[in-house]
Structure 1
Amino acid sequence: MTKQSSPYAAAQGAKTVTLSVQSWVGAQSNTAVAAYLLEHELGYRVDTVQVDEVPAWDALSQGRIDAIMEDWGHPEQEKRYVDDKKTVVRGGELGLTGHIGWFVPTYFAEQHPDVTDWKNLDKYADRLGTAESRGKGQLLDGSPSYVTNDKALVKNLGLDFEVVFAGSEAAQITQIKQFTKERKPFLTYWYQPQWLFRQVPMTEVKLPEWKEGCDADPEKVACAYPHTPLQKFLNADFAAKGGKAASFLKKFRWTAEDQNEVALMIAEEKLSPEEAARRWVERNEEVWRAWTR
């Protein structure tokens, strides 16, 4: 992280903003649009740093980055840096509600409706297995750095499944598309909002109901993932002294449809994040104009 950190972050008098950008394309979309508007409407230089979710909090606290645009819920870090150290402040909601879950392709769910209840998953373990799942059913995850309770869930629900990490969102999408092309069944960790649902219809598997505190102990969790209003966080000094840039980031708020529009351009049309942002900005002035005032 030291090597990656921007030399411009927290530089005295420099009209520069440093944003954390996570590896999934939805988060890249937020950062791309924020960076484009900061540069072209507000006259800032923007630097981006790709860093995993938990290390990003430490970087934010130290002022090596100025803002995280999309946080999916890190209560330990929030308590440490926001409530206790007060080096990070809440930047408001992004406007999207995130939800992680287990999904099967809709074509398989329509053929076998009972697969959408976790209690019936073992019945299909053989059909959902791969060479990587060591004789068990496969639960396909993305990166180990993402928010995931899946290993604990499989263990605590007593399921005959193996969690297999694709390594990244892009690798996971490639695998899902390949399964879909071959009309094979699969079980995957996935999340909403996400543009892939437009191309690969998936149906959520019902896990035990989420209730407050049911996931407090990561080793004992045996419930579904919550629905989480996604949040922004700012370095406390930047929030106080960052002027129009800090104000802009606090006001930045859009919809899942907005994010998916940009994400689709980046992931499928293979546009650069800056070009995708430019196209979205040109079409949606009525959305972003209020952020820059």
Structure 2
Amino acid sequence: MAARTRITALAAAAALMALTGCGAADMTKQSSPYAAAQGAKTVTLSVQSWVGAQANVAVAKYLLEHELGYRVDTVQVDEVPAWDALSQGRVDAILEDWGHPEQEQRYVKDKKTIAPGGELGVTGHIGWFVPAYFAEAHPDVTDWRNLDKYADRLRTAESGGKGQLLDGSPSYITNDKALVSNLKLDYQVVFSGSEAAQITQIKQFAKERKPFLTYWYKPQWLFEKVPMTEVKLPPYKEGCDADPKKVACAYPHTPLQKFLNAGFEKSGGKAAAFLKNFAWTTKEQNDVALMIADRKMSPEAAAEKWVKENGPTWKAWLAKK
């Protein structure tokens, strides 16, 4: 997981297509011509809209193509529909899942159409954040119980007279509307529409040194450009988020997982083995994400640069059996 000034759905899709390359397709409308191709060295990877997920796919795609000789297609699909596409064989792998227990129960445990692909090596965490410059001037803002004290300062034209809690895409994992309601906070959740739109808004706030409260997540390269401090919500305890309407606790820390189509896991040969071996650090993911999102490099160029500089890491992914 991912939040994230408003843009149209068409603009969001166009932005993602630019990031993921000309091979990207909208999997809610069509399937990849490469997926489940019999006897061909092809792989189809699901790519989500946040740049960390794009970094994973960029590096995996580059190595599959340049080191293992596969043709690789990347497809755009939201978090939950990605599980349907994976189960049906319309994509072969998801490289970054932030936790979908209902889908995991249905497809991995019950239907057995999806197989675990191992940990990505990165631990994800969603939370509420304020800019470091505001937290330093007002240390008590980092306790959720003091947020209403600052609601007037965090009000915007979009938040209807309340403080604004800036979220990204409604498709991302978020408990924020329930949290605001259950914690009885004088705030309104405002969706920017996408990670890119949310980053634009956060950067503008920071440029003007304005206070803001935002849903955000780690790992994410933006912390290097806009330092932020997390607001402490009521502690997370196992099961405290089981009922989405009653959530009144922090988000968990989640070791991010990979998943493969079960048929691909069995017959995908070197490609399936490589994707199961693929695991890197938060810093490594952020390095590639920063090149894509901040330095405006193409995903392929960013992947090529990272591969040239990190041979010992990726060669181990190829060598393992």
TM-score higher than 0.5: yes
Match of 2:142 in 1: 116
Using the size of structure 1 for normalisation, the TM-score is: 0.99
Name the residue aligned to 1:98: 124
- Identity level (%): 82
- Partner Cα distance (1:108, 1:90) in 2: 42
Query: Are 2:288 and 1:269 equivalent residues in the alignment?
Result: no
**Secondary structure in 2 aligned to 1:132?**
coil
Indicate whether 1:245 and 2:250 are aligned.
no
Question: Which of the numbers 62, 76, 95 marks the counterpart of 1:50?
Answer: 76
For residues 214-254 of structure 1, the C-alpha deviation after alignment (integer angstroms, 9 at most, x for no partner) is 00011111000000000000000000000000000000000
The answer as to whether partners of 2:28 and 2:81 remain within 8 angstroms in 1 is no
Q: Please, which runs of 5 or more residues in structure 2 have no aligned partner? A: 1-26
Cα distance in 2 for residues equivalent to 1:231 and 1:2: 22
2:233 aligned to which of 169, 192, 207: 207
- Distance across 2 between alignment mates of 1:246 and 1:41: 14
- SS at structure 1 position matched to 2:152: coil
**1:197 match:** 223
Which of 101, 114, 133 is the equivalent residue of 1:88?
A: 114
Tell me the distance in 2 between the aligned counterparts of 1:42 and 1:168: 34
Paired residue type of 1:153: L
The unaligned stretches of length 5 or more in structure 1 are none
Which of 141, 146, 150 aligns to 2:167? It is 141
Aligned residue type for 2:233: L
1:132 correspondence with 2:158: yes
* Contact kept? 2:180, 2:188, Cα under 8 Å: yes
Select the residue among 224, 236, 248 that pairs with 2:262.
236
What is the DSSP-based 3-state SS (H/G/I as helix, E as strand, rest coil) of the residue aligned with 2:166?
strand
Counterpart among 8, 31, 36 of residue 10 in structure 1? 36
TM-score of the aligned structures, taking structure 2 as reference length: 0.91
The answer on whether the counterparts of 2:51 and 2:293 sit within 8 Å (CA) in structure 1 is yes
Distance in 1 (alpha carbons) for counterparts of 2:234 and 2:279? 32
Q: Pick from 272, 278, 281 the counterpart of residue 255 of structure 1.
A: 281
Aligned residues: 293
Task: Return the match for 2:56 from 10, 30, 42.
Answer: 30
Task: Please tell me whether residue 290 in structure 1 is matched to residue 316 in structure 2.
Answer: yes
8 Å Cα contact 1:4/1:49 also seen in 2:
no
Deviation string 1:120-173 (CA, Å, 9 cap, x unpaired) is 000100001100000000000010001100001001100010000010000000
Partner SS, residue 153 of structure 2: coil
Change (3 A) 1:5 1:187: same
1:170: which partner in 2? 196
In structure 1, the partner of 2:21 is none
Q: CA deviation at 1:3?
A: 3.2
